[in-house]
Amino acid sequence: MIQTTNPATGETIATYETLDQNGIDAKLETAARTFRDWRTISVSRRTEVLHALGGLFESQNEELARLAVTEMGKPITQARAEVSKCADLLHHYAENGPPMLESKTWELSDGGTAEGRWLPLGPVLAVMPWNFPYWQVVRFLAPSILAGNVGLLKHASIVQGVADKLEELVLEAGAPEGVFQNLCVSSDPIGDVIADNRIVAATLTGSEGAGSAVAAQAGKYLKKVVLELGGSDPFIVMPSADLDQAVKDAVTARIQNNGQSCICGKRTIVHADIYEEFSDRFVAALKDVKLGDPMDDDTELGPLSSEGQRDTVLDQVAKAKDEGCTLVFGAEKIDRPGAWMTAGLLTDVPLASDTGTDEIFGPVGQLYKAKDIDEATTIANAIPFGLGSAVWTTDEGEKEHFANAIEAGMTTFNAVNGSKIEAPFGGIKRSGHGRELAEFGLHEFMNLKTLVHPA
């Protein structure tokens, strides 16, 4: 049994019966049966489903956004933006995806030709987190539908209402039953699901521990896996930066989604020449963040996703102080029902400490001073993660340096880092492997089959 809770109030929302083994097996059999037909459906029919699904996200934006806020606490304006981004991605793949599936031909030295043809693989398991409960799923779902695959979703327990709604929307968009199914289960049966012969691959967005477990099981059974895991992304500010915008965006990066975003800047690294001015303005702006009801349009910081997640962040802050870090302000539990805490900022963080190398998944930032570009790079790379990064500079030489030197799957210049629907997204090091979005995300779970035609 799974229970969902409103993190803003601590009140129970709903209770869900989890699937037993017979229920799981029925879902797997439906997926396998559906795939046999769905793989033969024309690409144009699949794009119709994508467009229809995108239209449903548009027409039901407010309802969907409020459901996410109720289950995991993000501010309503950000929830609406998440739903809109899902609609944009669905339409993007519908409009731009078919050319990504076109065959390619090579001339062979013996006079013959070889053709590369993209074919679907089969049922793919998606294990997804609660922090962007629609976007993380649709990022997998849209290319899956276009490819001709079918998907089974094991969503985070705290957003089961979203999981059910997603399955409902796919059916409403005209997809056959079994193209996308919600597996309402705990994490316990997932190993057996991955091992099942009817599952051909798995994708996971989540914690490093969950990714390691899924990758190990997928490896044991020789199945493809894509992982997007944690990040402790650097946000580097150099002297040529527009400080007004850099300060504003540094705050956004740290409190977006109530500080629960893998790819937003968690470690702000500032050049010594501008450190004092930036620090004063950054602290003032963080203190000025509007905390309140996540259903209010003016709210910038709501509750964390659960009391357990809030307590984990508070424990990390306590440990940081034990390691010699300075808590400049905040990072305090708020005495009210729900998963509330204030934003906060740490300085004097030793690079080799747990605080320096771990991810803090909440609204607590870290501020570092770098004497030059080399030290900024060293601090940026002194973590086991490599997901995203942001660099503030107008110097073209510095841009080129950071483009090559930062160990991450993505670097954004002079803006908050975030995934773009037209560009590949993914990490390196302990932030995972594989890519999502663009043609790369489409092709990850497809068979590039070579057809040889002799002369």
Report the catalytic residues. Answer: 228, 262
Q: How far apart are CA 123 and CA 145, in angstroms?
A: 11
φ, ψ dihedrals at 105, nearest 5°: -120, 140
Strands 180-182 and 150-154 come out as: parallel
Compute CA distances 374 → 171, 172, 238, 242, 440, whole Å.
53, 54, 12, 21, 32
Residue 4: CB atoms within 10 Å: 21
> Residues 379, 254: contact at Cβ < 8 Å?
no
Burial of 173 (0-12, 13-18, 19+ CB in 10 A): buried
Contact 405, 377 (CB under 8 A): yes
Task: Let me know if 222 is exposed, middle or buried by CB neighbors in 10 A (0-12, 13-18, 19+).
Answer: exposed
Q: Which residues contact 81 (CB under 8 A, 6 or more apart)?
A: none
Token pair, residue 60, equals 């039901």
At 16, the amino acid letter reads: Y
- CA-wise closest residue to 380 among 395, 402, 348: 402
Bridging pattern class, strands 113-120 and 428-429: unpaired
DSSP for 339-351, written as a single string: S-B--EEEES--T
Strand partners, 130: none
Strand 104-107, strand 113-120: pairing:
antiparallel
Go through 310-329 and write b for each residue having 16 or more CB atoms within 10 A of its CB, e for each that does not: beebbebbeebeebebebbe
CA gap 155, 162 in Å, rounded: 9
CA 87/CA 97 separation, integer angstroms: 15
